[in-house]
Amino acid sequence: MAQPKIIVVGGGLAGLAATIKIAEMGGQVDLFSIVPVKRSHSVCAQGGINAAKNLKGEGDSTWIHFDDTIYGGDFLANQPPVKVMCEMAPGIIDLLDRMGVPFNRTPEGLLDFRRFGGTLYNRTAFAGATTGQQLLYALDEQVRRYESEGKVTKYEGWEFLSGVFDDHRVCYGICAMDLRSMAVHTFPAEAVIIATGGIGAIFGKSTNSVVCTGSAQSALYQQGVYYANGEFIQVHPTSIPGEDKLRLMSESARGEGGRVWVPKQPGDKRDPKSIPESERWYFLEEWYPKYGNLVPRDVATRAIHKVVYEHHLGIDGQPMVYLDLTHIDRKILDKKLEGILEIYEKFVGDDPRDTPMKIFPGMHYTMGGLWVDFNQRTNIEGLYAAGECDYSIHGANRLGANSLVSCIYGGFIAGPHAVQYAENVIKSGQQPAGRIFDSERKRQEEINARLMKNDGTENPFLLWRELGDIMTKNVTVIRYNKNIRETDAKLVELLERYRHVNLSDRSMWANTSFVFARQLYNMLQLARVIAQGAAMRDESRGAHYKPDFPERDDANWLKTTKAYFAADADEPRFEFEPVDTSLIKPRPRRYDAAS
């Protein structure tokens, strides 16, 4: 039998994990990525990866990891796949260890674990504070090995434009653009796995990398793929505001004992080190005595917002609070957190070993994404999704250090299922009509030609700023229906103005503003899914918080939001699906008291 050919789009952790599984099973992979895969956004993950190895004698178990994840996600995730992920996690850590990830060690030479948010156990394995980088490199190296054996072909410097589907909505390949020559090509395959990560750029500045625009997910949504729980956006409590992006300050800073505080006196201008303990307010420790600084991210983010905007206690009147590590021994800080301390030092100019860091919440992660079943398959036959771009694991709020494990889990499930499906396609002799490739390529070339020739007055970079500003203001931490509806109206206006985009560069070689303009259109379409999903959900659950509906409403809203694109109306439509809560009965989620 012919070898199954699978296309993987995205070379972060999920894409590389899938690639390795497929190559190992004898499949052939075409791996597409905008950047060289070693430069993917997964490198930005810092703090660690969760697995209940129970190496600290605490009685941790995969069931408790499962329970923490479901509870942390406010019961919105379907439970069976989350349970499987937590059970696979210890094996995934062992595999990464065998691949050479330089995890921190205990004196005995075993893997060290630290604490993270939303759990009371030391469950997070880590490699300094650059765990994502180290994990990505380990998988990148294994993929390079398969590449040198001819089992993987990399297409680095290619932008995914669309899927190639036949009349029966079966996926037979993709359409992509060479980012140098700007040429559009189609690529056939028996199955396609989408692993294109996050959508941070929709919010303007975020902790995400430049490539995290959500453009691929949006293109597929506009082709009929369901997009689920789009309204669930994680805002990380501790980021460093910057001119070009918000840089993440890992939760591991708090996992290693970092404390969040503000001066009790509004507008206190003293050097933070000279402010005595009695005049500092450690508000997280006071409000959440059990979890303290390690409450889940949605809880910590709302607390910081409250302190800044309701108590008016932001540092020096600014939207910032202190994250303090100065009480911890420098040697321990260097061993366990060096990578993130270096980022703060380089980009802010202060040494966080000597002076408390100034931080503020920043858009970080999308819990929502392409809808998949328990085998990572989308509603389109032959099309799979894995990693941050799929919605399946984190419910209404992701726990820290669960993203790395969910990416690898997703890739490890999607890869083998895609191979199995592809083998069946080959066996059945099912063949796509050649015209579907030609017509998809022509459709994309027409979009390109139109954009290139467009003669208007709108600047895509300025439209993007307007998009980011309004999404950050109205569709992140605190949500009011009136503001969200205004946002959606603004999105309609931006889409209309997009029709008059004028490119300042019309050359056909490595034209980055042209590529960006294409991504921007997809961002605008997906932003409507996020905004409208948020407007509809009249409750508060996990990261989705409406002061007018402050409680979780299981009777009406314990359900998955599924958006699909109504092409004739050029806007999203919604349906809902019950959540599989067959393993853990939903209970109130409270971190301020025993649960």
Partner 1 sequence: MATNSKSVLIRIKRQDTPEAKPYWEEFELTYRPGMNVTSALMDIAANPVTKSGKATTPVTYDSNCLEEVCGSCAMIINGQAKMACSALIDQLKQPITLEPFSKFPVVRDLSVDRSVLFENLKKVKAWVPVDGTYDLGSGPRQGALDQEQLYPLSRCISCCCCMEACPQFNEKTGFVGAATISQVRLFNAHPTGKALKIDRLEALMGDGGIQECGYAQNCVEVCPKDIPLTKSIADVGGQTMWQAVKNFFRT
Token duo for residue 332: 């321990």
The angle subtended at Cα 414 by Cα 413 and Cα 416, nearest 5°, is: 75
459 belongs to the binding site for partner 1 (CB under 8 A)? yes
Q: Which of residues 112-141 bind partner 1 (CB under 8 A)?
A: 127-128, 130, 133-134, 137-138, 141
Query: Which H or E run includes 369?
Result: strand 369-370
Q: Which of residues 348-377 bind partner 1 (CB under 8 A)?
A: 349
- State the greatest distance between any 2 C-alpha atoms of the chain, in Å, as a whole number: 76
CA-based nearest residue to 251, from 399, 85, 56, 74 = 399
94 belongs to the binding site for partner 1 (CB under 8 A)? yes
CB of 236 to partner 1, least distance (A): 14
What Å distances lie between residue 458 and 84, 494, 500, CA to CA? 48, 10, 6
Q: Which string of x and - marks every residue 464-493 that binds partner 1 (by CB under 8 A)? A: -x----------------------------
The answer to whether 297 is a known catalytic residue is yes
**From the list 13, 16, 32, 41, which residue makes contact with partner 1 (rule: CB under 8 A)?**
41
d(CA 308, CA 252): 23
Pick the stretch among 258-266, 449-457, 504-512, 585-593 that binds partner 1 (CB under 8 A): 504-512
513 belongs to the binding site for partner 1 (CB under 8 A)? yes
Query: Quick check: 156 and 122 in contact, CB under 8 A?
Result: no
CA-based nearest residue to 172, from 518, 440, 565, 566 = 440
What Å distances lie between residue 75 and 410, 541, 544, 577, 580, CA to CA? 20, 9, 13, 14, 9
430 belongs to the binding site for partner 1 (CB under 8 A)? no
Question: 267 φ, ψ to 5°?
Answer: 70, 15
Q: Which of residues 527-586 bind partner 1 (CB under 8 A)?
A: none
* Residue closer to partner 1 (CB basis): 283 or 514: 514
170 belongs to the binding site for partner 1 (CB under 8 A)? no
| Cβ atoms within 10 Å, residue 80 | 12
* Residue closer to partner 1 (CB basis): 102 or 266: 102
427 belongs to the binding site for partner 1 (CB under 8 A)? no
Question: What residues pair up with 378 in beta bridges, in sequence order?
Answer: none
40 belongs to the binding site for partner 1 (CB under 8 A)? yes
Query: Which H or E run includes 337?
Result: helix 330-348
335 belongs to the binding site for partner 1 (CB under 8 A)? yes
339 belongs to the binding site for partner 1 (CB under 8 A)? yes
* Residue closer to partner 1 (CB basis): 433 or 462: 462
**From the list 148, 274, 278, 457, which residue makes contact with partner 1 (rule: CB under 8 A)?**
148
* Residue closer to partner 1 (CB basis): 98 or 435: 98
CB of 316 to partner 1, least distance (A): 14
**From the list 412, 421, 545, 565, which residue makes contact with partner 1 (rule: CB under 8 A)?**
412
**From the list 1, 2, 57, 109, which residue makes contact with partner 1 (rule: CB under 8 A)?**
109
Q: Which of residues 5-24 bind partner 1 (CB under 8 A)?
A: 20-21, 24
The one catalytic residue in 247, 254, 259, 297 is: 297
* Residue closer to partner 1 (CB basis): 120 or 462: 462
CB of 214 to partner 1, least distance (A): 15
Q: Which of residues 55-74 bind partner 1 (CB under 8 A)?
A: none
The angle subtended at Cα 194 by Cα 576 and Cα 230, nearest 5°, is: 30
Pick the stretch among 185-193, 352-360, 500-508, 559-567 that binds partner 1 (CB under 8 A): 500-508
216 belongs to the binding site for partner 1 (CB under 8 A)? no
* Residue closer to partner 1 (CB basis): 15 or 572: 15
| Cβ atoms within 10 Å, residue 116 | 27
Q: Which of residues 254-313 bind partner 1 (CB under 8 A)?
A: none
**From the list 282, 287, 347, 549, which residue makes contact with partner 1 (rule: CB under 8 A)?**
347
CA torsion through residues 215, 218, 220, 225, sign = positive
CA-based nearest residue to 240, from 388, 365, 129, 346 = 346
* Residue closer to partner 1 (CB basis): 362 or 395: 362
* Residue closer to partner 1 (CB basis): 91 or 588: 91
Pick the stretch among 106-114, 189-197, 274-282, 417-425 that binds partner 1 (CB under 8 A): 106-114
CB of 107 to partner 1, least distance (A): 6
d(CA 288, CA 310): 18
H helices then E strands: how many in the chain? 15, 21
403 belongs to the binding site for partner 1 (CB under 8 A)? no
106 belongs to the binding site for partner 1 (CB under 8 A)? yes
**From the list 3, 56, 58, 97, which residue makes contact with partner 1 (rule: CB under 8 A)?**
97
84 belongs to the binding site for partner 1 (CB under 8 A)? no
Query: Which H or E run includes 113?
Result: strand 113-115
* Residue closer to partner 1 (CB basis): 103 or 283: 103
CB of 595 to partner 1, least distance (A): 32
Token duo for residue 103: 């995890």
107 belongs to the binding site for partner 1 (CB under 8 A)? yes
What Å distances lie between residue 135 and 33, 40, 109, 299, 424, CA to CA? 18, 12, 19, 28, 32
d(CA 506, CA 503): 6
d(CA 357, CA 153): 44
CB of 327 to partner 1, least distance (A): 23
- DSSP letter string, 484-550: HHHHHHHHHHHHHHHTTB--S---SSS-HHHHHHHHHHHHHHHHHHHHHHHHH--S-BTTB-BTTB-
Q: How many CA atoms lie within 13 A of 53 on its CB side?
A: 22
Query: Quick check: 200 and 29 in contact, CB under 8 A?
Result: no
Q: Which of residues 224-263 bind partner 1 (CB under 8 A)?
A: 242-245, 247-248
* Residue closer to partner 1 (CB basis): 108 or 310: 108
CB of 423 to partner 1, least distance (A): 19
Active site residues: 297
